[in-house]
A and B are shown apart, each in its own frame.
Chain A
Amino acid sequence: MARFGMVIDTRKCVGCMDCVIACKTENDVPDGHCRDWIGQRLQGTMPDLRLTITSERCNHCDRPPCVTCCPTGASHVHDFGKVVLVDHDKCIGCKACLAACPYDARFVHPDGYADKCTFCIHRVEKGLAPACVSVCPTHSMYFGDLDDPDSEVSRLIASRRHFVLKPDAGTQPRIFYLE
């Protein structure tokens, strides 16, 4: 059984936001909302500064608090790839999942349900990469099965220094950033 995850090379990412635009186009994300976005982390003191650009989205956590707090089961872990999804017809719009996510990855769709990144599961089921990964002009994004030790994502994590966002939140996120 696959367990999908993403690896993003911060040394290659230039913050062009192509991933954000591709997601909006592919998923018809409503105006004013984002399923993914670009973060910038500035570290150090002048003049020794280091800027890290991070393409961020739902981390499809192994311990997803949005799933445990959902009163109807709308937020669930999908069988295919253990991707965290929202069943629109079960969501009552209570917003508990918005409050439970340490990454603030969710928003309320104008149609009333909680919405967020799906890892473009509709594309992945057809053997395609998520839209954000497929358009990255610097090829900084990788998508694959974390449980397969021979997958590209597993090999990158095994061989390169990396970090995840807010590890102390204890959610075991599945997006890894290469340093």
Chain B
Amino acid sequence: MLELVTTRHNPLVDPSLHIWGWEIPVYLFLGGWVAGCMVLSGWLMRRGRAPGQGSVAYVLPWVGIVLLSLGMGALFLDLEHKLYVWRMYLTLRPTSPMSWGGWILILVYPVMALAALAAIPRDLLSGWPSLAAFAERLRAGRSLRLLGTVSIASGIALGIYTGILLSSLGARPLWASAVLGPLFLVSGLSTGAAFAHMIARDPEEESSLLRADILFLVTELALIALFLIGHLTSGAQHAHAVALLLGGPYTAVFWVFVVGLGIVVPLVIQSLMASHRIGHTVIAPLLVMAGGLALRIVIVAAGQYSHWIVP
């Protein structure tokens, strides 16, 4: 027997019960991580780190290409009309951050590919003289600085758009905050910095990336505070939405996994590492990275749960 659905109490009917599953938070996390990799790689390039010196600046673009491909894979899995994905690239719609994002994803690949090419050792390119000559030109000081600048700019665009994408969907009051773009960008920077200082081999580079990560984590805490305050001091819709994180069903997971284990604990550990009171440990950067993923999972899940209250 088939029961006809004439009211809304059905997850198939009511999308506020479920719009996006695991794919979108994973994509937003990987996109933010790649953005962090690009900004930090560009920053190190501009500081004069040349290829062949063991700098992490030339590992990050390779990692970024792999991570972004995985992220785009997750994004593709989320699409319901997969065979029509090419439609995204027949138009650029200025009012749709998702459209900007589609194009940003395509534009960051060549930037990372150029940085990755500069990192390939000369002898590996000996079979392709024209490619080797191009890589040599890229390694020249001015080209590297320019590539660094472009890498920083495209990394910021990638990192910030993921937050603007959600904040433009005004029907979900929890996402309707201008802080979400900067918050996702800084979270991506802290994820990238944590990963970079975890794999860095040069002690000086490791130390500067560690200090950068501490700065990013403190900024992220401040932005989370602004995000909460902004909602609490706005109208009833926003106060109702942010209550999901302040006493509502997402409170424990937000404060324990995002703020506690994802920011405060690694911030304390990394501050002790920076002042040489404890040795370098991978626990702190792994916690930062897990916290970045937890932030996306909580914000996406709580955001789609929040809705415009009646009437």
A residues near B (Cβ < 8 Å) are: 17, 20-21, 24, 31-34, 37-39, 41, 65, 68-74, 89-96, 98-102, 104, 106-108, 111-113, 163, 165-170
Contacts and interface: CB of A to CB of B under 8 A. Distances in A.
B80 A104 contact: no
Contact of A34 (B5, B98, B168, B169): B5
B81 A92 contact: yes
A33 B80 contact: no
Contacts of B168: 69, 100
Contacts of A68: 95-96
Chain A interface, DSSP helix/strand/loop, else mixed = loop
A26 to B, nearest CB: 14
A70 B84 CA distance: 14
Contact of A169 (B80, B96, B170): B170
A113 B85 CA distance: 12
25 contacts: A21-B4, A32-B13, A33-B13, A37-B8, A65-B170, A68-B95, A70-B96, A71-B96, A71-B98, A72-B84, A72-B90, A72-B93, A74-B87, A89-B84, A89-B87, A90-B84, A92-B84, A94-B78, A96-B165, A96-B169, A99-B15, A99-B19, A101-B171, A104-B307, A167-B311
B81 A113 contact: yes
B13 A112 contact: no
A69 B169 contact: yes
Given A32-B10, A34-B8, A96-B98, A112 B15 contact: no
B79 interface: yes
Chain B interface, DSSP helix/strand/loop, else mixed = loop
Interface residues of B, number: 45
B5 A32 contact: yes
Given A34-B6, A72-B90, A89-B84, 13 more contacts: A20-B6, A33-B5, A38-B6, A69-B96, A70-B93, A70-B96, A71-B96, A74-B87, A92-B88, A99-B19, A100-B170, A101-B15, A163-B311
B245 to A, nearest CB: 18
A96 B308 CA distance: 16
Query: Would you list the 6 A-B pairs with minimal beta carbon distance, nearest first?
Result: A93-B80, A93-B81, A112-B81, A71-B99, A102-B171, A68-B95
Contacts of A39: 8
B277 interface: no
A154 to B, nearest CB: 23
A29 to B, nearest CB: 9
B171 A65 contact: yes
B41 to A, nearest CB: 28
Given A21-B4, A104-B16, A163-B311, A73 B81 contact: no
A41 B310 contact: yes
Interface of B: 2, 4-8, 10, 12-16, 19-20, 78-82, 84-85, 87-88, 90-91, 93, 95-99, 101-102, 165, 168-172, 237, 304, 307-308, 310-311
A99 B87 contact: no
Contacts of B19: 95, 98-99
Nearest to B9: A37
A93 B96 contact: no
A165 B171 CA distance: 13
B83 to A, nearest CB: 8
Contacts of B97: 69
A167 B237 CA distance: 13
A100 B237 CA distance: 15
A113 to B, nearest CB: 5
A171 to B, nearest CB: 9
Given A98-B19, A104-B307, A72 B169 contact: no
A136 B157 CA distance: 52
Contacts of B310: 41, 166
